[in-house]
Amino acid sequence: MTTYSSDGIPIHNGKINVNTAGGMAAYADSMPIPTGDPDNRKGWYFAKSSGAEKFNYYYYGQGSRAITLAEVAEYYFVGAVDTYVNGASLPFMVIYTKMQGDGNDAGAWYRSKITYSLHSSQLVQLGIKSQFSTVSNPSTKFPFSRKHLNVVGGVGPQDPSEEILTMSVQSDSGADNTTKILISHVGYCLHNRTEDVNILLSA
């Protein structure tokens, strides 16, 4: 069950600080590395300057047991897009599952890869925080506009029984060099709300 602060923000039950070992593991191969927001909003701020720079924020690691694709009801993140040139300016989500070594693994380190991105009909206002979710009516509700992410691609079997390796929020390496994106929260909910995970990204 999600609890809320007096201002309507869901109280986070996890936190990743950018300056810790956990933060370094979460932003991994992102370039440039995230920083604090120049406008003092909570979250990790990404400002692209050249080439194929992008971010990959990995925010799930297995606990006492694995979670399968079938168990997850929704994935989400909260963020703001500060500049927009085209669709490549928008962040998206990617879910990876564990390899099984049976010849059907799609990648060198994962079995399946599922990508969720924003539908073209969704309006994005510059600099305004929104909740981006894989369902239109998320269980964990932030007091911001809500944007529905659709499955737009994937590789591998994507069987519901597959165990999740990691969850991530990413940007497009092909985005314009002016791209600026803030991500403040990441999370997911299991079916029947047996587990709601809401992680604050702190700079």
| Confidence band, pLDDT 50/70/90 cuts, at residue 1 | low
Q: Is the pLDDT of residue 195 over 70?
A: yes
Bridge partners (DSSP) listed for residue 72: 190
d(CA 197, CA 76): 10
Continuous segment of H or E residues that includes residue 113: strand 113-118
Contacts of 76 (CB under 8 A, 6+ apart): 131, 132, 133, 134, 138, 140, 185, 186, 187, 188
Domain residue spans in the chain? 14-202
- 10-14, 15-19, 20-24, 64-68: which range is least confident on average? 10-14
Contacts of 157 (CB under 8 A, 6+ apart): 104, 106, 111, 112
Using H for helix, E for strand and C for coil, what is the string for 4-70? ECCCCCECCCEEEECCCHHHHHHHCCCECCCECCCCCCCCEEEECCCCCCECEEECCCCCCCCCEHH
Question: What is the separation of C-alpha 7 from the centre of its chain, rounded to a whole number of angstroms?
Answer: 23
| pLDDT tens-digit series, residues 85-112 | 999 999 999 999 999 999 999 999 999 9
What is the pLDDT, as a whole number, of residue 56? 98
DSSP 155-188: ES---TTPBEEEEEEE--TTS-TT-EEEEEEEEE
Query: Greatest CA span in the chain, whole angstroms?
Result: 52
Which is more confident, 8 or 128? 128
Q: Do 183 and 93 contact (CB within 8 A), yes or no?
A: no
Q: Is the pLDDT of residue 128 over 80?
A: yes
- Reduced to 3 states, what is the DSSP secondary structure of residue 88? helix
